[in-house]
Amino acid sequence: MKRGEPRVLVAYGSKNGSTAEIAERIGDVLSKAGCATAVCPAREAADDVAAYDAVVLGGALYSGDWHRDARRFARRAATALGARPLWLFSSGPLDASAGERDIPPVRGVRRVADRLDVCGHITFGGRLDENARGRLARTIVHAGRGGHFRDFARITAEWDRAWEAWV
């Protein structure tokens, strides 16, 4: 795709803010690459998809499920999403595994990917700290299994590559 400033929507489902911060970084990378980029929660974005040339959709992983807002967005906006390039990302492993190997998408993400013929999917490490909401999240943190496993250099590099492949 070679033309003026492509419009890219980066939508996300996030409970504790970690995935939102990853989405913001992706938006920054795409903006620096020349895209007019909007970053917003998936629950607010379904009606806006037609205004964009491409979409990035991300969701936090909780107990093996992709965030509900990301799944709902993909269902509500399926027709519009199917008509433009779509990339998916997940955020969530609370260990170094996402930086060490390619983590396959969870079932909910695979369904979206199969239905909408996505350009790609990647899983990034997550973050869970003492401010986490939800009983399960607090239990994980209190058990000492929380932490910060996001690699912003890797996030930047992956989206630089995705942008180059698209243009």
Please state, in angstroms and rounded to a whole number, the distance separating the CA atoms of residues 160 and 65.
27
Q: Is the pLDDT of residue 1 over 60?
A: no
C-alpha radius of gyration, the chain, whole number: 15
Q: Can you give the pTM of this predicted structure?
A: 0.88
What local confidence, expressed as pLDDT, does residue 57 receive?
Answer: 97
pLDDT for 22-56, tens place per residue? 999 999 999 999 999 999 999 998 778 999 999 99
Tens of pLDDT, residue by residue over 119-161, are: 999 999 876 666 666 676 566 556 666 656 688 999 999 888 8
Q: Which H or E run contains 144?
A: none
Contact between 106 and 74 under an 8 Å Cβ cutoff? The reply is no
pLDDT at 165: 82
Q: Are 85 and 121 in contact (CB under 8 A)?
A: no
| Structure confidence by residue, pLDDT tens digits, 58-116 | 999 988 899 999 999 999 999 999 999 999 999 987 677 788 888 899 999 999 999 99
152 SS3 class: helix
